[in-house]
Amino acid sequence: MTRNKIYSIIFPVVIVLSFINLIGENLFIHESDAEQIAVKTEIFAANKIDLDEVFSQKQLGSFVSNNSTCFRLFAPSAFLVYLNIYDSAESDKPESFEMKADDDGVWEILIDKDLSGKFYGYKVLHNKNDVIDQMPLCVDPYAKAVASFTSYNNPRKSIVFNHEYDWEDDTWIQRDWRDLIIYEMHIRDMTAHTSSGAKQPGTYMGLVERNITGGLNYIKELGVNTVELLPAMESGNCELPYMDSLTGKYNTWNPYERNHWGYMTSNFFAPSSYYAMKWNSFRWNEWTGTDGSQVNKFKDMVKAFHSEGIAVVMDVVYNHLSEYEVGNLKQIDREYYFRLDENRNYISQSGCGNDLKTERPMVRRMIVESILYWMKEYHIDGFRFDLGKLIDWETVEEITREARKVNPNVIIVCEPWGGGYDPKGFSLREWGSWNDQIRNGIKGENPFNGLGWIFGKWYGNNSLDRIKSYVNGTLVRYEHGLFQKAEHSVNYLESHDGYTLGDFIRIGTKEVPADEKIYNTDEHVKLTARQLRLNKLAALFLLTSQGITMIHSGQEFARSKVIETDNNVPDKNKGKMDHNSYEKDNTTNYVNYKHAGLNSDLLQYYKGLIKLRSTFESFRHSDPSHITFYTIKDDNFALGYHINRGKENFIIVFNANQEKEREFILPKGDWSVLVNADSAGIKPISYVNDKIILEPVTGMVLKKIK
């Protein structure tokens, strides 16, 4: 990092000698000032700072107080910074102000006006050769609302935001992690399809409309108690032009030129304007979010979920920044904010063009303050951290400490990979992690040559003992275990990444070849008898295992992501099932509620299992001392276990054998069947008292009567 030492900040003596006192004054910078700027930068170069040590506690961003507006930007490597203020997002004629730097790398200016509603950005110069008019306008990393321009480089302008909001009596949902049933979903996808019935489809408000088929009503009826929103901070949703270059990169992979999922975050304090606009109103080269309404619309959405007792978790991306856009932290101070190699190139273990240097004190501060802001300002109940292993341990620990001061029950889970893999390390720090062991062990790693237990196969080093460990929360007490506590295990079989569970099973059974073009989606979606059994068996295992349960949207009706054919995009995979739909803003991603009706048998089964899990603590709060396993001799694909927690007494049995029935002898007593191959719930289906016989690829739950 020796190149860092070349850069400088302005110390007080230099400030006095070199700057006009601009506090409260307006100064427009002309191109003719370039010579004067060049002289100044040579003076500044004499002052060096250790970027690993510099730190400030000043409030950053823009904020209004006493009819004045203060602007502060942390950019310790910069030579000069100018604030540009605009009357509108469309304006290209700013009023420009030269800013001053303090000893800790904070550039600031106080304007003696209330500038609420104005648009602004920063011009950051890094050496004497930089010309103001040629530098990109940089968005404020602490901006609370942002206007974005829909072009490949996603230019943005920050908004001086100063609105009040009435939360009434709303607050965080307080819930034991063991009781969480998470529904991972994309805000637009839940109501963009016409089958949702939403009047404002694809938006924050459409998601929580009442008396419609989709959105909040559907989620409530399903019975889950927590939603996990795919990234909803302001992000880059336009990618590079296809088969063309931009900023030195060449797009050969994304003919749709979109980034639909939201994993290219640009602003850590601002909600996405993408979900505040009409779902079908996207146009290239237009400004969005200019009225700042996305802020209150996001809050209205959270409040509506809370009114139904449903917690809201945000999927957050603090490991990298939006890759292709120009005018963010990369142009503000790449030396400080990013991990660079010896040639000053971005390190990209994230695979997204850059990795944030989270170990830097002011990057850590920004991340922690962002988390606390979303908790306090938006009443967010928890967070799922994308590629968590790219966040340094000290930052992980500070997030935990500070967030729990605000809400002791705050939900904190992550992907435990990205530059490594360490669910054990996260569990030691009281974070939950996605459990890829149960995902790969139960369904398999891939549907071609990596099928799992429900198919009567062993993937990798999976075994019957490991299957048993999943039931108990994949605890470290077992060989290959991952977690200190069961509630640190986020059990899942499907997420936004990869094939849906429904498509995984369609391909795994070889009933639908992966390379087959599908012309009748409705006919394709309808499950065969074998596919239905496999989906039900997987669901039964997932929803009766200890730990946090996560379901991806549409998993409950075997959602299929078939690439849309009715467009002019040059995609050779049109009509095929998609395993990576991040770039497709169309019916490939949108939840089709007609398909939920076509597979209502599976949907009702999921509803019944969710009701079962929510009603009886045995499926959430049992520890290994409560659980006794039964096995069938010479058949590792038949498994049963007995949960005995005093008043609650259950038998759960599975037969993943693909061909043979299996008999289980029951402990003495009378038992009611709550779940069988056909249905699930909390009401008895039938009664038995001695033994049960399971058909292939089925399971059962029994509750002791006496």
Rounded distance, CA 233 to CA 366, Å?
Answer: 14
CA angle 96, 98, 99 (to 5 degrees): 125
410 or 706, higher pLDDT:
410
Query: pTM of this prediction?
Result: 0.93
**CB count, 10 Å around CB of 175?**
16
Cβ neighbourhood burial of 520 (10 Å; 0-12, 13-18, 19+): exposed
Does pLDDT of 534 surpass 60?
Answer: yes
pLDDT at residue number 100: 98
Token digits of residue 305: 């979920």
Region(s) of the chain under CATH 3.20.20.80: 423-624
Rounded distance, CA 271 to CA 295, Å?
Answer: 6
Superfamily classification of domain 625-704: Golgi alpha-mannosidase II (2.60.40.1180)
Amino acid occupying residue 563? I
pLDDT at residue number 646: 87
Cβ neighbourhood burial of 221 (10 Å; 0-12, 13-18, 19+): exposed
Rounded distance, CA 515 to CA 523, Å?
Answer: 17
Per-residue pLDDT tens digits for 389-412: 999 999 999 999 999 999 999 999
What does CATH list as the number for 2-159? 2.60.40.10
Asked whether 385 and 354 are in contact (CB, 8 A), the reply is no
Does pLDDT of 22 surpass 80?
Answer: no
Inter-CA distances, 232 with 39, 229, 617, Å: 44, 7, 33
Residue 18 — pLDDT band, cuts 50, 70, 90? very low
Per-residue pLDDT tens digits for 330-345: 999 999 999 999 999 9
pLDDT at residue number 163: 86
Rounded distance, CA 201 to CA 167, Å?
Answer: 24
DSSP code at position 136 = P
Residue 3 — pLDDT band, cuts 50, 70, 90? very low
pLDDT at residue number 283: 84
Inter-CA distances, 111 with 25, 536, 538, Å: 7, 63, 61
Average of pLDDT values for 115-135? 95
Does pLDDT of 680 surpass 60?
Answer: yes
Is residue 556 classed as helix, strand or coil in its secondary structure?
A: helix
- Does domain 423-624 sit in CATH 3.20.20.30? no
What is the distance in angstroms between the CA of the first residue and the CA of the last residue of the chain? 71
Inter-CA distances, 437 with 243, 442, 470, Å: 38, 8, 8
Average of pLDDT values for 554-570? 95
pLDDT at residue number 498: 97
Does pLDDT of 517 surpass 80?
Answer: yes
CA angle 584, 587, 591 (to 5 degrees): 110
Per-residue pLDDT tens digits for 167-205: 999 999 999 999 999 999 999 999 999 999 999 999 999
Rounded distance, CA 702 to CA 637, Å?
Answer: 19
Per-residue pLDDT tens digits for 563-615: 999 899 999 999 999 999 999 989 999 999 999 999 999 999 999 999 999 99
Average of pLDDT values for 422-445? 98
pLDDT at residue number 249: 83
Rounded distance, CA 665 to CA 346, Å?
Answer: 61
Per-residue pLDDT tens digits for 345-362: 999 999 999 999 999 999
Residue among 101, 153, 158, 189 at smallest CA distance from 289: 158
Residue among 462, 155, 463 at smallest CA distance from 289: 155
Rounded distance, CA 315 to CA 227, Å?
Answer: 10
pLDDT at residue number 17: 31
**Paired strand residues for 203:** none
Residue among 542, 151, 583 at smallest CA distance from 326: 151
pLDDT at residue number 279: 65
Token digits of residue 697: 């690829």
pLDDT at residue number 48: 65
Pairing of strands 80-86, 119-125: antiparallel
Look at the block and give the residue holding tokens 């019916």.
Answer: 587
Residue among 492, 497, 475, 615 at smallest CA distance from 542: 492
Cβ neighbourhood burial of 22 (10 Å; 0-12, 13-18, 19+): middle
Does pLDDT of 31 surpass 70?
Answer: no
Q: 30-34, 266-270, 528-532, 574-578 — which is least confidently predicted?
A: 30-34
pLDDT at residue number 419: 86
Token digits of residue 127: 């050496």
Average of pLDDT values for 101-109? 97
13 or 575, higher pLDDT:
575
Asked whether 80 and 5 are in contact (CB, 8 A), the reply is no
Is residue 680 classed as helix, strand or coil in its secondary structure?
A: strand
Does pLDDT of 41 surpass 60?
Answer: no
670 or 6, higher pLDDT:
670
Residue among 545, 559, 553, 523 at smallest CA distance from 652: 545
Region(s) of the chain under CATH 2.60.40.1180: 625-704
Asked whether 476 and 483 are in contact (CB, 8 A), the reply is yes
Enumerate the H helices of 379-487 as residue ranges. 393-406, 423-428, 436-442, 464-471
Does pLDDT of 372 surpass 50?
Answer: yes
Neighbouring residues of 615: CB distance < 8 A, sequence distance ≥ 6: 682
Amino acid occupying residue 78? A
Residue 43 — pLDDT band, cuts 50, 70, 90? very low
